[in-house]
Amino acid sequence: MDSIETKTLNFQIRFAEKKDANLIVKYIRELASYENELDQVTVTPDTLGKYMFDQGGAEALIGEYKGEPIGFAFFHRSFSTFLGKPGIALVDLYIEPYSRGNGFGKMMLSYLAHIAKERNCDRLEWWCHDWNTAAIERYVNWGASMVKNIRVYRMDGKNLNDFSKEYAIQSIDK
């Protein structure tokens, strides 16, 4: 796949391909380690390949500096009922520690905004830990705003499994 040249010298962005599954898992693990959540990561290159690439469940951009990968942006399509239009949800944006401070993350997020507009999406949204003040400051400086009065809730594991059975109507013996 062709790379997209950016305003940052020697920095290109390209769409990830199935052959990038190992690299993407590496970045997911590194980001989770930074966020002190590595114990929650169960993804493998095989599961990622199946659900991301074979089933089209998500996409990723790979950032490359001087031809070498230095980060990724992992995203999927979302939908706003308020707008009645699709959007893009950024799940992870990660730049290798040795490459931070060069504007690579900003270029990747800017390109993702371009993709959103190109696909007729009216929103680009992402989540950020409240303790990550450096990232929050950057996002606000770039024009993002915090969504007020909303917190993200998650259900997974045993709770998801148990709750998934709550809808079931019990059969009635006659």
Return the active site residues. 139
Q: Which residue do the tokens 């001087």 mark?
A: 66
74 and 58 Cβ atoms separated by less than 8 Å: yes
| DSSP of the chain | -PPEE-SSTTEEEEE--GGGHHHHHHHHHHHHHHTT-GGG----HHHHIIIIIIS---EEEEEEETTEEEEEEEEEEEEETTTTEEEEEEEEEEE-GGGTTSSHHHHHHHHHHHHHHHTT---EEE---TT-HHHHHHHHHTT--PPTT-------HHHHHHHTTTTPPPP---
